[in-house]
Structure 1
Amino acid sequence: MADYYNVGKVTSPHGIRGEIKVYPLTNVPERFYDIPYIWVFDEKDIPCKYEIENVKITSKGMVLLKLKGIDSRNDAEKLKGLFLKVDAENALKLEEDEYFITDLIGMKVYTEEGELIGTLEEVLQTGANDVYVVKAKEREVLLPAIKEVIKKVDVEGKVMIVRLLEGL
């Protein structure tokens, strides 16, 4: 499992008192109410821990955060474009057969017969079900994230076993 999980990206400052506007990268933006602190990773991927002082969710689904120590618009401007992450302790608890996207990226994908298809490079969230984009030697293979296709996921070993359906 990853050590940190993306939960949002800072889009802009909000107001003059250091609030930031965050595009949530979670399907449960209300979770920001329960997170005591957030990790901000700068351009060099160096983490900085901030206590969350206040949370508001806008009618458009954006999250407004006030972080301790970010007290002016200029302070907030420095965070623009950076990712907000939670550590494993504050990550959502997953149901069986649910995975964090960050844990899936980079997995080697094999058929049930042991043939290497390629490396999982992206997860498309389509609504009905996710679609895994696997980079093969000369093409991309799109795999629907359904039980008929995804047979085994080994997060620790970074391996996925799949059954290719007709036409894939």
Structure 2
Amino acid sequence: MDLAESFYIGYISKTRGLKGEVQLFFEFDDYKVLELDVLYLEIDCKLVPFFVDSFKLHSNSTAYLFLEDVDHVDKAQPLVRKKVYQPNSKKPERHPDDFRITDLKGYTVYDQRYGELGEIIEVHEYPQQYVAVVPYKFNELMFPLNDELIVSVDKENKKLEVDLPEGLVDVYS
């Protein structure tokens, strides 16, 4: 299996204890419905399968798990900070009307004052709000994604119209 046949779910964030337990931090929204029988870790640009012996999900986007043949902290430590994937065949289906703010990644942003700003390359989730990142004039333009700034969302054409505060775009020029 290669990266094109898989989807990213998170990364191994740390070890726990001496028996090889690791913490998986999920960056995939629907992590609670994932089948966690086999995980693929990116090691040396290849996806290596690891079978899950046991796991415990937590509400803070993490899970603690034991992987087959990883029975000591010395075997678990090299897995820390490795990206974790699953096959596309295991990706949960979402209802077409289930639109999330993170789905704006890939949308082209149009500001009412400045016109086209560029494509959203990342949506960061912070405790207080979501923030869009758009490459703009050799910088990364960042702005909050909230109801006050979003004018319209065109799902069909993947366009986001915003009314950014006066001066915000000028900071990145």
Instruction: Provide the TM-score with structure 1 as the length reference.
Output: 0.69
What is aligned with 1:91? Answer: 91
Contact 1:118 1:137 in 2 (8 A): no
What is aligned with 2:145? Answer: 144
Mapped to 1, the partners of 2:59 and 2:155 lie a distance apart of 39
What is aligned with 2:51? Answer: 51
Q: Which amino acid in 1 is paired with 2:145?
A: P
Mapped to 2, the partners of 1:73 and 1:54 lie a distance apart of 16
Contact 2:53 2:65 in 1 (8 A): yes
Correspondence 1:122-161 to 2 at 5 A:
122-126=122-126, 130-137=130-137, 140=141, 142=143, 144=145, 148-152=151-155, 160-161=158-159
Mapped to 2, the partners of 1:29 and 1:10 lie a distance apart of 14
Unaligned runs of 5+ in 2: 167-173
C-alpha change, 1:21 and 1:128, in structure 2 (3 Å) is closer
User: How far 1:27 moved relative to its partner?
Assistant: 4.4
C-alpha change, 1:150 and 1:13, in structure 2 (3 Å) is same
C-alpha change, 1:119 and 1:60, in structure 2 (3 Å) is closer
Correspondence 1:1-168 to 2 at 5 A:
3-31=5-33, 34-42=35-43, 44-57=44-57, 62-95=62-95, 96=97, 98=99, 105=105, 107=106, 109=108, 111=110, 116-126=116-126, 130-137=130-137, 140=141, 142=143, 144=145, 148-152=151-155, 160-165=158-163, 167=165
Contact 2:109 2:120 in 1 (8 A): no
C-alpha change, 1:149 and 1:91, in structure 2 (3 Å) is same
Alignment: residue pair count:
157
Mapped to 1, the partners of 2:73 and 2:142 lie a distance apart of 45
Contact 2:131 2:142 in 1 (8 A): no
Mapped to 1, the partners of 2:85 and 2:23 lie a distance apart of 15
Contact 1:149 1:165 in 2 (8 A): no
Instruction: Tell me the percent identity.
Output: 15
Contact 2:109 2:162 in 1 (8 A): no
Mapped to 1, the partners of 2:104 and 2:59 lie a distance apart of 32
Mapped to 2, the partners of 1:45 and 1:26 lie a distance apart of 21
